[in-house]
Structure 1
Amino acid sequence: MAPKKAAEAGKRKKEMIQLEDKKEIIRKHEGGMRLTDLAKEYGRRASTIGTILKMKKKITGRDAAKGVTRVSKQRPPVLEAVEKLLLLWIEQKQRAGGSVTKAIICEKAKALHADLLKQLPGTSADAESFKDSRGWFERFKTRSGIHSVVRHGEAASSDVAAAEEFATEFLEVIVSEGYVPQQVFNCNETRLFWKRMPKRTFITEEETSLPGHKPTKDRLTFLFCANASGDLKIKPLLFYHSENSRAFKKHKVNKEQLSILWQYNSKAWVTRLLFVKWVNVVFGPAVKKYLVDNNLPLKAMLLMDNVPDHPPGLEEDLLEDFNFIKVMFLPPNTTPLLQPMDQQVISNFKKLYTRELFRRCFEMIDCSSLTLHEFWRDHFDIVSCLQIITIA
């Protein structure tokens, strides 16, 4: 029995889940988030999350006091110190005219927390207690009074009826022709302003605006593609305005060994000719190998929107080895409703890209007098961008 007591004594009591977090868990679950993903995000067991969901009616019927100004008894003092230092840091950035986004604040909070754990005695038990989650950030905004403003200043109308009609038609094709999720693919393009300053910045409660910066407009265009089961991500197609960047020569980069297919034109746009090349050189071979390796029937569906660089007669341009690929196009003005890659896939990539970018940025600017703008302008090139893209 003695060893059992010793083991129990070594356990650290978890913080209580606040009412606001429970309501947030319920909202996310109702929005389609899986129980296991919620458990990972909040650092709890799946059974705990399941209990919260079972008590949904009781929890949603309760109201917390307006403004999360109270401090839980389980809240470690080091977290209070982190938020005080964080607010001072935001005020310093504000006076200097720097941009402070959610990603920057979260990254700085983690760095402050790690530094305080090293400096304050008896805080090692709190090493894993800080999570820069959405819930923490929203409560920090409420406690501190910071708010977001735009530095400088289309949503297309969606055809709901056409979207509903296509969804029915698409399902009929999938069922009648016997496609499984591993055989159904979607691709879509997006632009990445890889050196642009953040458009929004958080400032302290007393201020309402800040002077703007001239944005850096250097951009590239990505084409992402994956199957519905999510286990095959096709090598992305990347368009840039330069065939051979000077950074490639500086870092001795071999474009053939990149994790993307590098293409170029003066406007960094996807063109019909190069899209067909990507399908025959990258997409077709990757899909065929995947289907053969997984003992799946040699057939595939590629779903994409109806834009000029996606040729209507694409199936006729396919090489003979890839005539097993069927193409379907989304109806006009239905992309916001139906495009799978627009259902947080691309947005999550950009968030991960920005987060890694700021992590690298902090390593340099916190130890020097550089501003964020100067870092991106003078110390961040296209090769650095490609490294972060691979991580994201």
Structure 2
Amino acid sequence: MESKVNEGASSSGKKTFKRKHITLTLNQKLEIIKMLERGINRNVIMSKFNIGSSTIYDKKQKDKLRAFVAESEAPTKRTELRRKLKMPKMAHFKWFSAKRSEGKPITGPVLVEKANQINISESCVFSEGWLRNFKDRHGIRKLDISGEQKSANHVATEEYSAIFEQLVEEHRLSPCQVYNADETGLLWCCLPNSTLVGGGEKAAHGFKMNKDRIIVLVCANASGHKLKLLVIVKYKKPRAFKLTSLTVIYEAQGNVWMTSEIFKDWFFNHFVLAVKENFRKEGLPEDSKAVLLLNNCQAHPPASELVSGNIFTTYLPPNVTSLIQPMDQGVIQNFKCFYTGTFVQNVSEFQSDFNLKDAVYAAALAWKDVKKVTVRKCWRKLWPSIMFCDDSSDEEEFCGFNVRPKHISNIQEIIENVSE
């Protein structure tokens, strides 16, 4: 509804006047309709609102306008409903955030149930669509629960760090004299659960997940020296290969678990010999001291039973594995990534083509691919000062740059002087 009063010129040369452009509000339009219905003269209405006669509504236009106003009331009611539900939604997300900060698992049905408890409006239905939109709105996604961070003991970690420093000073241990070993399960024939597909594929069909596993014990010292893998499988004499041709230490156990007997045999017949051999390579006396750090596990014998000359064992406190145990700070993960890469490359068509012999050799190859610098870095949470040890000519990452270890001490000195 609009009108114009502008000054112009006619074809005869005389000046004419046109009304200015006027935009009426919805309330003004409704008022005009009411005035017309009361029988008020059109000239009065035109004068009051400064509009022309063409702007005055007929019956058909009045019906359309009123229908529009009636339809506009429904969204207003929905807006009020959304405002009523805004506070419960915020309370719902705050509840979700609080529970996740405590490490508690939350599933979709749990979210819906909690929404029903918080909801104050009976007209709202918390369906699968609501759950999907709620997750998209807040960036909530599904992840597999992994690690032991929530059960980790941070107080014990700080206390043991001081004990470890005292142990190193007391025995004057160098990085090549401190070892850590840890077991991990390896699903040796398990294909990835995702794949790339072509444009014409509607679903990614695959094979049944194979959950056959082996136990692998990895061990290395703080200078990057890696010992031969210990692999525990189910069968004593598998047909796939001869035991004499293995590049790993092979043990068999019916339940595929580490046992005290297996661990003691590994310690005295393999670990001790490997440590002494490394001492000879490093130019140290064979009777030099060495310590093996272990986590608390029922399969690990008491520390008093794991002593051979100057080579002894000490245990980490409970619930600190995820925080400071070296092998758990990226070495095992790195090893499994290399294994998966080798496994996927070898399985070209069928899982059945990949046997236990292939798995053992792939594990040995993956352990070989773990870099020495990766092993050294995994000790930094337990032994921070080790990052400044000049025990290799390889370049290391320091402050975002690759530098040689012999230059790190100079860089550290510069940083300290600048800080002062």
Q: Does structure 1 residue 286 correspond to structure 2 residue 279?
A: no
Q: Does structure 1 residue 238 correspond to structure 2 residue 231?
A: yes
Query: Whole-Å Cα distance in 1 between the matches of residues 202 and 143 of structure 2?
Result: 11
Q: What do residues 254-296 of structure 1 show as CA deviations (whole Å, max 9, x unaligned)?
A: x134111111111111101110000011000111122133222
Query: Whole-Å Cα distance in 2 between the matches of residues 331 and 160 of structure 1?
Result: 11
Normalising by the residue count of structure 1, what TM-score does the alignment of the two structures yield?
A: 0.52
Query: Whole-Å Cα distance in 1 between the matches of residues 323 and 204 of structure 2?
Result: 35
Q: How many percent of aligned residue pairs carry the same amino acid?
A: 34
Question: Which amino acid is the alignment partner of residue 280 of structure 1?
Answer: F
RMSD of the TM alignment (CA)? 2.9
Question: Which amino acid is the alignment partner of residue 240 of structure 2?
Answer: A
Q: Does structure 1 residue 307 correspond to structure 2 residue 297?
A: yes
Tell me if structure 2 keeps the 8 A contact 1:300–1:326. Answer: yes
Query: Whole-Å Cα distance in 2 between the matches of residues 205 and 302 of structure 1?
Result: 53
Tell me the equivalent position of 2:165: 171
Query: Whole-Å Cα distance in 2 between the matches of residues 343 and 153 of structure 1?
Result: 17
Question: Which amino acid is the alignment partner of residue 235 of structure 1?
Answer: K
Tell me the equivalent position of 1:382: 356
Tell me if structure 1 keeps the 8 A contact 2:229–2:364. Answer: no
**Structure 1 residues 387 and 316, CA gap change in structure 2 (3 angstroms):** closer
Tell me the equivalent position of 2:333: 347
Does the residue aligned with 2:240 lie in a helix, a strand or coil?
helix
Query: Whole-Å Cα distance in 1 between the matches of residues 167 and 145 of structure 2?
Result: 45
Q: What do residues 206-229 of structure 1 show as CA deviations (whole Å, max 9, x unaligned)?
A: 999867753101110000101100
Tell me the equivalent position of 2:402: none
Does the residue aligned with 1:235 lie in a helix, a strand or coil?
coil
Name stretches of at least 5 consecutive residues in structure 2 with no aligned partner.
1-140, 367-420
Match of 2:344 among 358, 361, 367: 358
Query: Whole-Å Cα distance in 1 between the matches of residues 198 and 143 of structure 2?
Result: 14
Tell me if structure 2 keeps the 8 A contact 1:238–1:261. Answer: yes
Query: Whole-Å Cα distance in 2 between the matches of residues 152 and 290 of structure 1?
Result: 40
Alignment of 1:207-356 (within 5 A): 214-230=208-224, 232-248=225-241, 253=242, 255-297=243-285, 298-313=288-303, 315-318=304-307, 322-356=308-342
Tell me if structure 1 keeps the 8 A contact 2:178–2:222. Answer: yes
**Structure 1 residue 203: Cα displacement:** 6.6
Question: Which amino acid is the alignment partner of residue 166 of structure 1?
Answer: Y
Query: Whole-Å Cα distance in 2 between the matches of residues 289 and 386 of structure 1?
Result: 24
Does the residue aligned with 2:346 lie in a helix, a strand or coil?
helix
Query: Whole-Å Cα distance in 1 between the matches of residues 144 and 157 of structure 2?
Result: 34
Normalising by the residue count of structure 2, what TM-score does the alignment of the two structures yield?
A: 0.49
- Higher RCO (C-alpha under 8 Å, 6+ residues apart): 1
**Structure 1 residue 351: Cα displacement:** 0.7
Question: Which amino acid is the alignment partner of residue 228 of structure 1?
Answer: A
Tell me if structure 2 keeps the 8 A contact 1:150–1:200. Answer: no
Tell me the equivalent position of 1:184: 178
Tell me the equivalent position of 1:4: none
Query: Whole-Å Cα distance in 1 between the matches of residues 220 and 365 of structure 2?
Result: 17
Tell me if structure 2 keeps the 8 A contact 1:191–1:220. Answer: yes
Q: Decide which structure has the larger Cα Rg and report it.
A: 2
Q: What do residues 307-344 of structure 1 show as CA deviations (whole Å, max 9, x unaligned)?
A: 0111123x4354xxx22112111111110001100111
**Structure 1 residues 206 and 261, CA gap change in structure 2 (3 angstroms):** same
Count, aligned residues: 222
Alignment of 1:94-105 (within 5 A): none
Q: Which runs of 4+ in 1 moved over 6 A?
A: 149-153, 203-209
Does the residue aligned with 2:291 lie in a helix, a strand or coil?
strand
Tell me if structure 1 keeps the 8 A contact 2:306–2:312. Answer: no
Query: Whole-Å Cα distance in 2 between the matches of residues 208 and 161 of structure 1?
Result: 52
